[in-house]
């Protein structure tokens, strides 16, 4: 069973980009080895810092676009992904509104001062009833 979620990239309290993720939408558990959205976002932030001179952690739309590319690559490293092609991924996409079957709603708050581009966004979530 997949744990679906939406990851909202926000600036100044407003959702700028809404990303749907079909799998592993839960928070990471301290007592488990499961990776959830919060762990994946930390890994993503680390890679942004190591690969990009300009992190744009303050730019929610730009960061969301990078997250889609990163997430697609992360989930397409299998032999099947190499056979079918780098654009043959599913389970992640851009939305206009929340679907009715999500279990978690995540928020990536990109409210950092623009001159401090290394400040990582704050991440929080809520359980959807």
61, 81, 82, 83 from 108: Cα distances, Å? 11, 28, 31, 33
The structural domains of the chain, with segments of one domain joined by +, span: 5-127
Overall pTM surpassing 0.75 (yes/no): yes
Strand-pair partners of 11: 14
The answer to whether residue 116 scores a pLDDT higher than 60 is no
Rounded CA separation 71/79 (Å): 17
Which of the four pLDDT bands, split at 50, 70 and 90, describes residue 113? low
Q: Which tens digit of pLDDT belongs to each residue from 32-73?
A: 666 899 999 999 999 999 999 888 899 999 999 999 999 888
């Amino acid at each position: 069973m997949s744990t679906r979620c939406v990851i909202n990239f926000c600036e100044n309290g407003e959702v700028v980009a809404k990303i749907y993720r079909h799998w592993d939408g839960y928070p990471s558990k301290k007592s488990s080895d499961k990776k959830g959205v919060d762990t994946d976002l930390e890994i993503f932030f680390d890679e942004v810092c190591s690969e990009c001179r300009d992190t744009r952690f303050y730019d929610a739309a730009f960061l969301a676009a990078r997250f889609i590319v990163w997430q697609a690559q992360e989930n397409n490293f299998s032999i099947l992904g190499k056979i079918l092609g780098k654009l043959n991924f599913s389970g992640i996409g851009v939305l206009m509104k929340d679907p009715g079957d999500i279990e978690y709603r995540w928020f990536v708050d990109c409210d950092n001062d623009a001159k401090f581009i290394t400040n990582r966004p704050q991440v929080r979530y809520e359980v959807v009833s």
